[in-house]
A and B are shown apart, each in its own frame.
Chain A
Amino acid sequence: MDLSHPDRRERLDALAAQYALGTLRGQARDRFTKAARSDPVVAAAAHAWETSLASLAEAVPAVAPPPRVWTGIAARLGLRGAGQAGLSWWQRLGFWRGFALASFAAALVLSLVQLMSPAVLPAESLVVVLAGPDARPALIATATRGDAMLTVKAVGDVRPAAGRAFELWALPEGGAPKSLGVLPPVGVAKVALPAPSGEALARVPALAVSLEPPGGSPTGQPTGPVLYTGKVERFY
């Protein structure tokens, strides 16, 4: 059933209402959920109803769950125990495992760059190899310590999905991600920094790239999936 067809609008709206209210059950609910995943018109109808009814849910009295609920979540996700809860997320194992591979790639890229031309890599520079979960380098960011400019190059044919954009983020120690700007879809990007890179990225151990709407994140925080991360390697 094509729920997005204009003739079906009324039917769609009724189904979306039942879905949001919760009275749509069983296979009908499954079919609707499936349709909402593949069809933005269906998703929008469901979302409109969920939003309309959302303020009602706020009236439900809050009840503190027992502490074992959090312990269970942490155990399922392999998060660190309570004693280490204060650790920064930079110290999470999985995160660094990705970095270890990316750092290896960074060293490799760096030595290749050095072989090609000494002028390409001035003495005081920083390099970030941004890689996905598979640790394959996707983007390489370089900067000279004294320049307020970051050069970002795509490795191979890395580009955002149609109608979306890559946004580059600095991940400062203990702070929220900070946007460095939206990257052009292909080729080489020059990203202006607020200060010389040695200063602007002094307390930034890593960069990340997320997938965002064309103009960049509307909220100032990453809203789309984070595709690539990379540790800032300093050669000074």
Chain B
Amino acid sequence: MAPAEPADRSARLAALLGRVALGDQRAFEALYGQTASHLYGVALRIVREPSLAEEILQEAYVSVWHHAGRYDAARSQPVTWLTSIVRNRCLDHLRRRDLDTVTLSAEEDDEPAFDVADEGLTPAELLLRGAEARSVRECVEGLEAGPRQAIALAFFQGLSHAELAAHMKEPLGTIKSWVRRGLDRLKRCLDSAGYQR
């Protein structure tokens, strides 16, 4: 299948969501066919456990079937909307799992779980790869190494501040400040570049 222009793809997905809101099963299947691989990739990277990622994907599409009418095409791109649903569910699951396990401490060293679903690209590389719009890429490149790494790990692997501290072997305060400063800087840069979507 040839990759469609992003604008075409967005329009097509928005039309499918419109039909899903009307209870159109075929549109729902088509929507699944066109978005499931991307969303599964996102979920897998964050929860790093195929069975959990599958469960999250199922929950997310069940929710989409029931709430497609809430999608507002004037406010967001369909993929952004769908990705938010999946990411939020991933974070909910991580939190539930965190409650069941011992709290991570900064002393813990080996973190074998982190290299699952890596496919050769580190989160920091993904961050740059994702920043395809030139202004976004420049803004990401403008971040210092620490904040960039922290933001990438948080975004792509769903790490909390405490987990970032453990993984990057830095004090929690440093991590929080990196994330906050990094986001501030990213935002200012994106704003000044006139980046909207």
Contact = CB atoms under 8 A, between A and B. Distances in A.
Interface of A: 13-14, 17-18, 21-23, 25-26, 29, 33, 47, 49-66, 68-70, 72-73, 76-77, 79-80, 85-89, 92, 94-95, 171, 176-177, 208, 210, 213, 218-219, 221-226, 229
Nearest to A23: B154
A63 B41 contact: yes
B18 A223 contact: yes
Contacts of B83: 54, 57
Contact of B130 (A58, A208, A226): A58
A69 B91 CA distance: 20
A26 B95 contact: yes
Given A21-B155, A55-B136, 19 more contacts: A22-B154, A49-B187, A52-B186, A54-B77, A55-B132, A57-B79, A57-B130, A59-B132, A60-B45, A60-B130, A63-B37, A65-B53, A89-B24, A221-B14, A221-B15, A221-B18, A225-B70, A226-B23, A229-B22
B160 A25 contact: yes
B97 to A, nearest CB: 12
A58 B79 contact: yes
B166 to A, nearest CB: 14
A22 B87 contact: yes
A65 B79 CA distance: 17
A121 B88 CA distance: 54
Closest 6 CB pairs of A and B: A59-B130, A221-B18, A56-B130, A225-B69, A62-B37, A54-B80
Interface in B89-132: 91, 95, 117, 119, 121, 126-127, 129-132
A14 B19 contact: no
A165 to B, nearest CB: 14
Contact of B26 (A77, A89, A95): A89
Interface in B138-197: 151, 154-156, 158-161, 164, 179-180, 183-184, 186-187, 190, 195-197
A61 B32 contact: no
A223 B41 contact: no
Interface string B49-75: 000011001100110010001111111
